[in-house]
Amino acid sequence: MKTDKNLFKGLSRREWIKILGGIPVLGAVWTAGYRFTEKAKTERNLLLETLNIKASPPPASGPMSGEPLRIGLIGFGIRGEQLMRSLGFATTEWLEQMAKSSAENPNDKRLDDFKAQENLNVKLAGICDIFDVRAEKALASFNQNGNVCKRYRTHSDMIHSGEIDAIIIATPDHWHAPMAIEAIEAGLHVYIEKPMTHTIQETYDLRESCRRNPDVVMAVGHQHRQTQSFLTAQDAIAKMTLGHVSLVTTTTNRNDDNGAWQYDIHPDASPDTIDWNAFLGTAPQIPFNAEHFFRWRKWWAYGSGLSGDLLTHDYDRINCVLKMGIPKYITASGGVYTHRDGRNVPDVMQINMDFPNFSTGSSQEPGKEKGMTLVYSATLGNQFDRGTLLMGHDATMELGNMLTIHADPRSTKYAEFIKEKRIDPMVPIYQYDPSANGVDAVTSATAKYFANKGLLWTYRDGKRVDSTFLHIREWLSCVRNGGNPSCGITEGFEEAITAHMGGLAYKLGRRVEWDEESERIVALPGEDLDAILLDNEVGYLMQKA
C-alpha cells in the first residue's frame, strides 16, 4: 500500500497525460479496425443475400457395399491405366515410379493420394488389349492381393464370358460404340470414354441399345461433371446472376508433343505383338502401321481430332451448367497448322455453336434478348490459358477450378449498386473456391493470386480426390444402388451429335444444321454425312495446299 501511494503521489495532470496518452490512440485504432471489418461484412452479406447463390458440392454417390463387381477393361493404354488407378488398380511400375518420385520430392503426394483412395469393392476380373506388351503388363500387376485378372483375346470373348458384370471402354474412338452396343445387348454395364461415338449412325444405334436395355447403366467419361463448382454455377445461372448470356467462350491451349497426340511408339510394337486387324475393325484396311496404332488420335479413321477429343469436354461442361442441348447451327474453321506430320485432323480449330432460341433469362425489357453462341477455340501450338467465360448482360462468370463472377459495368441488374459504388466491376461480386470453408463476395487480389497459382486445392471431406475417381464411383453407385449417372445416354447423345456436327462443318466448309423435330443433322440431297465425316482426304489436301 505504501508503495502504491508513492507511485501515484504528486502526479500532475501533465504527468498523467504523458503516462496514459497512448490509451486514446489505442481506442481510436481499435475502433477504426472494428468498424472497417463490420462495414465490409455488412456490405458482403448484403451482396451475398442479393445474389443468393447456393454453394454446394454435387451429392455424394451411394454406398459401395454388396458383392464385389467384376469389371473388365478394354484398352490398357494411357487412359486405360489412369482409369484403372481411379478404380483402385495401379501397375507395379507406376507404384515404383511414384515411390521414387515422392522420395525425391516430399510434396509429390500422388502415391499417398492413391493409397488413401476409397476402396470401390470391385474385382478387375478381365483385361482385353490387342498389344501383348500392355496386356501382359496388366496381368503382371493385377494378379496379386487377392485379385484374379484374366486376359481375353477379343472384346467379344470378354463380353460373353459370363465372368464380367461391367466393362470400361478406353479404346480408339472407332471402337467405342460397337463394343458398347455389344456389351449393353449382353446385359453388361458400360463406362465409355469420350467421344461417345465415332459416327452419326452409331450415336442413334447406341441410344436405341440403351433404350432397349433400361436396366443397364451406361456412363460417358466426362469426369468434370464431378467438379465441385458446377452445381454452384447452375444455381448462379438459375438465380439470374449473369442475366442473358449471349456468348460463351471455351478453349483448348496446348503446346507440347504429348498434347498434340505425339505419343511414344513402343519399341516392341510389331505385327507379331499387335493384332492389327482387330485394331482396324471397320477403318480403311491398310498394312500394319505402328504410328497409326499409337497415335490414332491424329486420323479421322480412328479418332476425331479436336472436335471429338477436346471440344466434347468443353461442350459437356457448358451443357451440364446451362443444359442448352444440341446447337441449331455449327460453323467451323481451322487446319493442320502446327503439326504438319501427316495427320489429317486439324490442330487449330474454331467451332461456333449457335442456339438461336436459347436464353438464360433477361433483366431487360421482354423480347430484347434471346439466343446464344458457344465458341470453342483451340490450338495445339500455344498454351496461354484463356479460360472459360460465360458472358451475360449483367455479369461474366469465369468457370475454372474456382468460380468467379464479375458484374458488368453496363449491367441493368446491378446498375444501382454500381452507381452507389457498392459494386466495383473490377472486383468479383462472387467467388466460390471449393477448397475454402466459405464463399467470399469480395476477394483481394492477393487471395486471387494464391488461388490461381493452384495453391488452394479441391477437397472432399477433407481429402484431395481426383474427379475421374468420383465419376467412376458414381457409375458404380448407379449399378449398385440405382439412379442415373450425371453423364448418361441423353447427355452422351448431345455430346456426340455436337462433336460430329463440328467435324462435318469443318469438312464441308458450310454451316451444318440440326433439325430438332426429326432429330437429324440436315443433309443436302445425295450427301452421305457419315462418309464425309470419316473422309480421310480433307486434312491431307490442306497440308498439300
**How far are the Cα atoms of 129, 276, 277, 341 from residue 270, in angstroms, in the given order?**
14, 9, 13, 21
With CB under 8 A as the contact rule, the residue among 96, 282, 449, 515 that binds other proteins is: 449
Nearer to other proteins, 29 or 286 (CB): 29
- Cell representation of residue 91: 501397375
Shortest distance in whole angstroms from residue 399 CB to other proteins: 22
Q: Please select the residue that binds other proteins; options are 2, 13, 453, 544, rule is CB under 8 A.
A: 453
The 71-110 contact track toward other proteins, x by CB under 8 A, reads -----------------------------------x----
- Do the beta carbons of residue 350 and residue 337 sit within 8 Å? no
Query: Cell numbers at residue 286, please?
Result: 491398310
Query: By rule CB under 8 A, what count of residues binds other proteins?
Result: 36
Residue placing its CB nearer to other proteins in the complex, 400 or 482: 400
- Quick check: 243 and 412 in contact, CB under 8 A? yes
446 binds other proteins (CB under 8 A): yes
Number of helices (H), then strands (E), belonging to the chain: the values are: 21, 18
Among 1, 2, 14, 20, binds other proteins (CB under 8 A): 20
Between β-strands 348-355 and 372-379, what pairing exists: parallel, antiparallel or unpaired? Answer: antiparallel
Strand order in the sheet with 395-399: 430-432, 403-407, 395-399, 389-392, 245-253, 372-379, 348-355, 329-335, 512-515, 520-521
* Minimal distance, residue 7 CB to other proteins, in Å: 6
Strand partners, 250: 376
1 binds other proteins (CB under 8 A): no
* 146 lies in the site for other proteins, by CB under 8 A: no
- Of 22-30, 88-96, 467-475, 489-497, which segment contacts other proteins by CB under 8 A? 22-30
Which of 2, 3, 119, 518 is the binder for other proteins (CB under 8 A)? Answer: 3
> Is 267 a binder of other proteins (CB under 8 A)?
no
Query: 67 burial class (0-12, 13-18, 19+ CB within 10 angstroms)?
Result: exposed
- CB closer to other proteins out of 18 and 323: 18
Verify binding: residue 21, other proteins, rule CB under 8 A.
yes
Question: How far is residue 11 from each of residues 3, 4, 15, 21, 446, measured CA to CA in Å?
Answer: 14, 12, 6, 14, 50
Q: Which one of 136, 165, 398, 440 is in contact with other proteins (CB under 8 A)?
A: 440
Nearest approach, Cβ of residue 437 and other proteins (Å): 7
Of 186 and 456, CB closest to other proteins: 456
> Which of 174, 173, 213 is CA-nearest to residue 190?
213
Contacts (CB under 8 A) with other proteins, residues 31-50: 32-34, 36-38, 40
Contacts of 488 (CB under 8 A, 6+ apart): 210, 217, 218, 219, 220
CB-based contact 222:316 (threshold 8 Å): yes
List alpha helices for 377-509, DSSP H.
415-419, 445-452, 467-481, 489-508
Name the residue nearer to other proteins (CB basis): 208 or 449.
Answer: 449
Binding site for other proteins (CB under 8 A): 3, 6-7, 11, 15, 18-23, 25-26, 29-30, 32-34, 36-38, 40, 106, 436-438, 440, 445-447, 449-451, 453, 455-456
